[in-house]
Structure 1
């Protein structure tokens, strides 16, 4: 599985970083980014919690590859 942040949706609430600090971080602009795109199995519960807690749905979890034209997914 993969995880990404849709930065155009991100409002910098920080819920993802609080849930999974080894997977997400906020950059200098205050927006979140994924530190790793393919977290280990032990990190997935926290990643799913981060996705559930994101107030704008910016944490994207995918089983496969995103379509090349899916601009919502950025690193």
Structure 2
């Protein structure tokens, strides 16, 4: 199963004056995991689509910071 939340470990310099972040997180959009757009996908209403930035619910992916995990994967 694919996950939309990815992590990586950046280079940490021995001369870095600040406490380094050992792991960073980023989000990948759901359309990367669809080979094609299936027919008859559920759609947002026109006003919801303007707020979400997409017409199709399957392509909606709100971005939340790594400290807001409880809010992830909610529709507008």
TM-score by length of 1: 0.25
TM-score by length of 2: 0.25
* Higher Rg: 2
Structure showing the higher strand proportion among its residues: 1
